[in-house]
Amino acid sequence: MCALHSKVPAIKEIALVGGRLSLDFINTTNWVDNKPVDDRLTGYSQVLAWGCRVGLIHLDKARMPADPGTQEPDPRMERLRQFRHQLRQLFVCEQGPAPATLALFNQRLSQTSELAMKSAGNRLCFEYQDHDLSWLEAPVAYSAAELLISPLEKRVKQCPGTRCGWLFLDNSPNNRRRWCSMATCGNKHKAQQFYGRKKAK
Ligand SMILES: [Zn+2]
């Protein structure tokens, strides 16, 4: 593994800084020119790990796939990545979404009827189904829909960090948040500026 890639946190440690479920889902990969790079959803087990992380589902260790690094081809993954890409388009496309993008989004929204909740300790989560990913896609689609029709949609921003492209909801009082996180992209930018000034001297 190259040095750069080793710095990309795995799905279990990935920062949840989007401010909404739908934005955090889009941020499960980085983006360059609207294409995913350093994707953390490399397999179905990562999807389950993320679902548990954000509280959509609850799975005990016995039900988690044995090999978290597996990259076997899985038709559910292709569909999920396509959904994630289209979802991002809804937020970043200034001319409004293409009909195909909206159609795919509406399809995921309609899956809410298949959802069921269950008790997990002292809280609720969605019933996990192995045959599809409606437990993830429908709540994520609903989260996006809620944001898209809200005045807060204007506060969804894209991080300008190198090789980042994450989306986040700017909740700052003065609407001046620039970075997905100061701990990552913000600090990287500060360091670059510092060394740039030093070099110029
Ligand atoms: Zn960033």
pLDDT tens for residues 76-120? 899 999 999 999 999 998 888 899 999 999 988 888 777 899 999
- State the chain's mean pLDDT as an integer: 88
Beta bridge partners of 124: 119
State in Å: Cα 61 to ligand 1 middle.
32
Q: How deeply is 109 buried, as exposed, middle or buried, from its count of CB atoms within 10 A (0-12, 13-18, 19+)?
A: middle
pTM: 0.88
State in Å: Cα 96 to ligand 1 middle.
24
State in Å: Cα 92 to ligand 1 middle.
15
């609850």: which residue's tokens? 58
Q: Which helix (H) or strand (E) holds 41?
A: none
pLDDT score for 200:
67
pLDDT score for 201:
64
Percent of the chain with pLDDT over 90: 63
pLDDT at 70 over 60: no
49: Cβ contacts below 8 Å, ≥ 6 apart: 11, 12, 64, 68
d(CA 188, CA 136): 32
pLDDT score for 89:
95
pLDDT by residue (tens digit) across 41-60?
A: 988 889 999 999 999 999 88
In 3D space, the residue among 144, 162, 32, 156 whose CA is nearest the CA of residue 83 turns out to be 144
37: Cβ contacts below 8 Å, ≥ 6 apart: 29, 30, 31, 163
pLDDT score for 99:
93
State in Å: Cα 161 to ligand 1 middle.
5
pLDDT score for 6:
44
State in Å: Cα 10 to ligand 1 middle.
16
d(CA 81, CA 75): 10
- What domains appear along the chain, each with residue ranges and CATH number? 9-156 (1.10.3300)
Other C-beta atoms closer than 10 Å to the C-beta of 165 total: 23
State in Å: Cα 162 to ligand 1 middle.
7
Other C-beta atoms closer than 10 Å to the C-beta of 24 total: 22
